[in-house]
Every structure is written in C-alpha cells, then in structure tokens.
Structure 1
Amino acid sequence: MKPGLLMAQLLNRFIWFDGALQKSLDARGHGGVRRLESMTMIYVHAGIRRPSELARLLGVTRQSMNTALRELEEKGLVYLEPDPEDARCKLVSFAPEGAAMRADALEIVMALEAELEDRLGARAVGELGRLVSMDWGEPPVLRGKKAAEGKKKRA
C-alpha cells in the first residue's frame, strides 16, 4: 500500500460496511436511517449511553448529536431517560418499538462479517479484528517534521 493511505483505506472499509448495512436495512423496510444515526446505534449497542460521550466518540457537536437522538426518538428507535447519577443529564436507551430493526441490523452485520470471511479468509478477518481492537493509546499531537524524526531515532 502506498504510504499515507491507511487512513483513507480504513475509512473506505467503514463506508463499505455502513453502505451495505444501510442498503440492507432499506431492503428490509427499515429505510431512512442516516449514517450518524446508525453509528450512534452501534455505540449505544456497545454500552455508550451519554449523549456527550456519543458526540465525543463520533466527532460531532453536542447539537448534532442531540438532533440525531431526537430523530431516532421520533423513529421509535431510542428514548432518552433521566440519568439517576446526574439530574442534568440524560441517558440513551433502546426503545422496544425498534427491536425488529435492531435485530435485523445485528443479523446484517453478522452476515457482512461472514461475507468478509468468505472473501478474505477467516484468518485475515480475525487478524483485522485483533488489530482494530488493540489499544492504540491516545491520539498523538505531532508538531512538525523534526518531532517525527526524533521519535524515529528513539525507536
């Protein structure tokens, strides 16, 4: 791979997954879920329930996250409830009305992973899962060419 393209390739593969999920949900009658909404649902499924944390992880403003959550609420997919630990905050929960769509989405994602195993092999998909699950640490702040060169020399 050409140096400097890893980020683009990771993004392309995410878009492959999300595009297949969106088209498959549409085909099953669950259309109209935007990328930010589907990404939000994935994080809620992973246990992230605070809107501020969802916004941080997804790299959007709190205002954008609140808009997405309102739209998901209107679609009957999530609801916001008071946070018992902080009365100023809300927590996101899955709405029972969205159970069929969530079940379909999980089935689709699992089928996409199986499709990847068919295309790339179980070993490659397992290795990919291992690599993206590793702790990469906090994102670094790189300041100029000399800082990068100094880190190479120390390594």
Structure 2
Amino acid sequence: MSRVNLTRPDRKPLIALVDRANRALQADMVQNAHRRGHPEIKPAHNSVFATLGENGARAADMAARAGITRQSMGEVIRDMVDLGILEMRPDPEDRRAKLVTYTEHGRWMAGRGYQHLIELERGFEEEFGEQEYATARDVLARLVDLLDQWATTETAASEAAASG
C-alpha cells in the first residue's frame, strides 16, 4: 500500500489564524462577563448574543446565522430563559412561531458585552494603529464577501448540473 504525500502550507493557514482569533475573542467575552460578576455566562451563550437583534428573532433564524443546529440553539435559548436573560413570546407576524427577545436584564447584559467589544476594538486600534487595524478589518470583510460569493456560485453550478 502506497502512502499519500500530504502537501502542507508553508505557513499557518488563514483558516487556523481566523479560528484561533475567533476562539480567543469568544473566550474573552465570557471571561469579561465572569469578571463583571456573571459566572453563569457560558461560551455557548455567545451564539445567542451574536445573533439576537434588538427586536428579537426566531430561534431557527438565529441557529442559521450562528451555523449551529436548531436543536443546539434551542438548548442554549432554554438555558438563557432559565437564567432570566431571554424570554419567548408569540411572534406577532406568525402566532404559531415564537420570538426570542431579551429581558431587561438580558438587554443590560448584552449592552455590557457590546461595550466590551467597543473597548476591545479601541485597544486593537491603539496596538496596531488606526489605519492598520482598519485595513485588517477591511480585508477580513472582503474575504467573507468573496467566500460567500464563491459558495453561491458553487451552489448554483451544482444545482444547474443536477437539474440539467
């Protein structure tokens, strides 16, 4: 049996750098909540804080934005309801559906989290300089747009091949 030769990148792959930065930022958000007296906040809660808008959202939509299953999002939401951070109520546009919204306490906690994000960004600007940090953000945003564009093109090509 022959061995397949693995061709590895000559430097750390971008996906590894972005993943590590994401995990570090996610951990920092939870640690910040703990430092501010909220040890009940868990890493899984980040998926809700990152996807729940001010006017609420459906759990299925939040799960899609977070890239997790509906079941996983539902579990996190139930935990946060039990903690008094979220509430569920009928969706005014579809009474059969439930809308996830922040409680007053949850809005306060989310606001503290956003304030911490603002402070982090200021710290990054101080560390790297305003222009360099703006460039880094711009490049990351453009990468996301390009990857989304490629995925859309790939999906359309696959669907066309399957139907034709």
TM-score category (smaller protein): 0.7 to 0.9
Per the alignment, residue 99 of structure 2 pairs with 91
Deviations 1:67-124 (A, max 9, x none): 1001111111111111122222111111112233223212211111111112222112
In 2, Cα distance between equivalents of 1:42 and 1:18: 10
Structure 2 residue aligned with 1:13 = 21
Where does residue 150 of structure 1 map in the other structure?
none
The change in CA–CA distance for 1:111 and 1:7 in structure 2 (over 3 A counts) is same
Shift, 1:6, TM fit: 0.9
Q: Which residue of 2 aligns with 1:69?
A: 77
Alignment match, 1:140: 151
Tell whether 2:135 aligns with 1:127: yes
Q: Which residue, 104, 107, 120 being the options, matches 1:112?
A: 120
Asked if 1:27 corresponds to 2:38, the answer is no
Determine the C-alpha separation between the residues in 1 that align with 2:60 and 2:138: 28
Percent pairwise identity: 22
Segments of 5+ residues of structure 2 without an aligned counterpart are 1-8, 155-164
Structure 1's 46 and 18: CA in aligned 2 closer, same or farther, altered over 3 A?
Answer: farther
Instruction: State how far apart, in whole Å, the 2-side matches of 1:139 and 1:73 are.
Output: 38
Aligned length: 143
TM-score normalized with structure 1 length: 0.79
Q: How does 1:50-69 map to 2 (within 5 A)?
A: 50-69=58-77
Higher relative contact order (CA 8 A, sep 6+): 1
In structure 1, give the amino acid aligned to 2:78.
Answer: R
- Structure 1: gaps of 5 or more residues: 144-155
Rg larger in structure: 2
Q: TM-score if structure 2 supplies the norm length? A: 0.75
Q: What per-residue deviation string (whole Å, max 9, x for no partner) do you get for residues 37-76 of structure 1?
A: 1221121147671211111122221111111001111111
C-alpha RMSD of matched pairs (Å): 2.6
Distance 1:124 1:39, change over 3 A: farther
Give distance in 2, aligned partners of 1:108 and 1:66: 26
